Amino acid sequence: MAKVQVLNVAVLDNPSPFGNPFQFEITFECMEDLPEDLEWKIIYVGSAESEEYDQVLDSVLVGPVPAGRHMFVFQADAPNTGLIPESDAVGVTVVLITCTYRGQEFIRIGYYVNNEYTDPELRENPPLKPDYTQLQRNILASNPRVTRFHINWEGSADKMEDSENVDPSPNISSMLPPSCIPGKMPPLGLMPDNSMDCM
């Protein structure tokens, strides 16, 4: 059973200009005192097409965490515009908040983010090169997508107690399986099958 339950994430300063820092107020509850810190990360997905453009905006350690209910504000700088493909600057993308304990990710909270020009003129005729100063970032805070993973709270990642526990456990039924994504292969790593069959 997960020792840490995220109870709420409030998106602060939203909507806001593109350059403003992200601010999430996170409320979580912990079943018992945690001997180690939690590590939180904000990941900005620069492009839907490739994980290459993912930016870890910041990561913080949170601790000590005694049993009880806690809250903190996680603030992270806006993404580096230089790393975002120009074609993906305007439109819908995703920002992720992940939390890991002892190197194991146990929750992933995703929000859709819409970046749009506020000026109707620009909206109609967007400039070829995105003008980030005019962009507004709007996080769809009412619809977080939360995926929880079972992890081994007692030990580190290499001691996963149960293969069943590894499977991602999305609690949103409408989620598409990763295989639906064109041109994106799951990171199959060192599969011998793969290495053999590169024809």
Partner 1 sequence: MKLLKPSWVSHNGKPIFSVDIHPDGTKFATGGQGEDSGKVMIWNMAPVLREEDEKNENIPKMLCQMDNHLACVNCVRWSNNGLYLASGGDDKLVMVWKRAAFIGPSTVFGSSSKLANVEQWRCVTILRNHTGDVMDVAWSPHDVWLASCSVDNTIVIWNARKFPEMVTCLRGHTGLVKGLTWDPVGKYIASQADDHSLKVWRTVDWQMDANITKPFSECGGTTHVLRLSWSPDGQYLVSAHAMNNSGPTAQIVERDGWKTNMDFVGHRKAVTVVKFNPKIFKKKQKNGSSPKPGCPYCCCAVGSKDRSLSVWLTSLKRPLVVIHDLFDKSIMDISWTLTGLGMLVCSMDGTVAYLDFSLDELGDPLSEEEKNSIHQNIYGKSLAITSTEAQLSTTIIENPEMLKYQQERQNSAQTNIGPGCAGPESSAPKLNSVMNGESLEDIRKNLLKKQVETRTADGRRRITPLCIAQLDTGDFSPALFNSAPILPSGSSMSNQLTSQLSSDSSPGQASSLGLRPSHDPMLTSPPASSIAKGLEDNKDGVKPCLLLTSASKIEPMKALDSRFTERSKATPGVTAAISSTAGLTPLDSRPKDGISALKDIKSKEDTSSDSEDKMATINKNLSFSKRKPELLMDGGEVVEKRKKGRPRKEKMAAPIAQPFTQITPPAEREPSRVAAPPAPVAALKLPTPSIKKAFSLQVSMEPSVFLEVENEVSVVAGSKLSQLRCSRDGRDWNTLLPSSVVTAAGSSDVLAVACQDRMLSVFSSCGRRLLPAIQLATPVSAVHCSSHFVMVLTAGATLSVWDVQKQKALVKNESLLTILSGADSTVSQSLLTQQGVPVIGLSNGKSYCFSSSLETWTLIADKGDSLVQCADFRSCLSTHDAPASSGPLAVMQGRNLKYDINIKSPILNTSVFLQIKCHKEVSLKNLSGPCSAGRLASRLSSTPHHLQQSMTLAFLENQLASALTLQSAQEYRYWLLIYARFLVNEGTRRPLFKVFTLSRD
Number of residues counted as binding partner 1 (CB under 8 A): 113
Closest to partner 1 by CB, 80 or 159: 159
Binding of partner 1 by 133 (CB under 8 A) = no
Binding of partner 1 by 81 (CB under 8 A) = no
Q: Respond yes or no on whether the N-terminal peptide bond of residue 64 is cis (omega within 30° of 0).
A: yes
In the complex, minimum distance from the CB of residue 127 to partner 1, in angstroms, rounded to a whole number: 17
In the block, residue with structure tokens 């107690």: 161
Tally Cβ neighbours within 10 Å of residue 125. Answer: 9
In the complex, minimum distance from the CB of residue 6 to partner 1, in angstroms, rounded to a whole number: 6
The contact pattern for partner 1, residues 157-176, with x = CB under 8 A and - = no contact, is xxxxxxxxxxxxxxxxxxxx
User: Which range in 58-66, 78-86, 124-132 contacts partner 1 by CB under 8 A?
Assistant: 58-66
Angstrom distances, CA of residue 189 to CA of 22, 37, 72, 193, 195:
33, 29, 36, 10, 10
Closest to partner 1 by CB, 133 or 163: 163
Q: Residues 173, 145: contact at Cβ < 8 Å?
A: no
User: Which range in 1-9, 78-86, 125-133 contacts partner 1 by CB under 8 A?
Assistant: 1-9
E strands, 50-103, in order: 54-62, 68-76, 91-101
In the complex, minimum distance from the CB of residue 51 to partner 1, in angstroms, rounded to a whole number: 7
Q: Residues 94, 110: contact at Cβ < 8 Å?
A: yes
The contact pattern for partner 1, residues 99-128, with x = CB under 8 A and - = no contact, is -x--xxx--xxx-x-x-x------------
Helix (H/G/I), strand (E/B), else coil: 13: coil
In the complex, minimum distance from the CB of residue 132 to partner 1, in angstroms, rounded to a whole number: 18
Q: What pairs with residue 24 in β-bridges? A: 11, 74
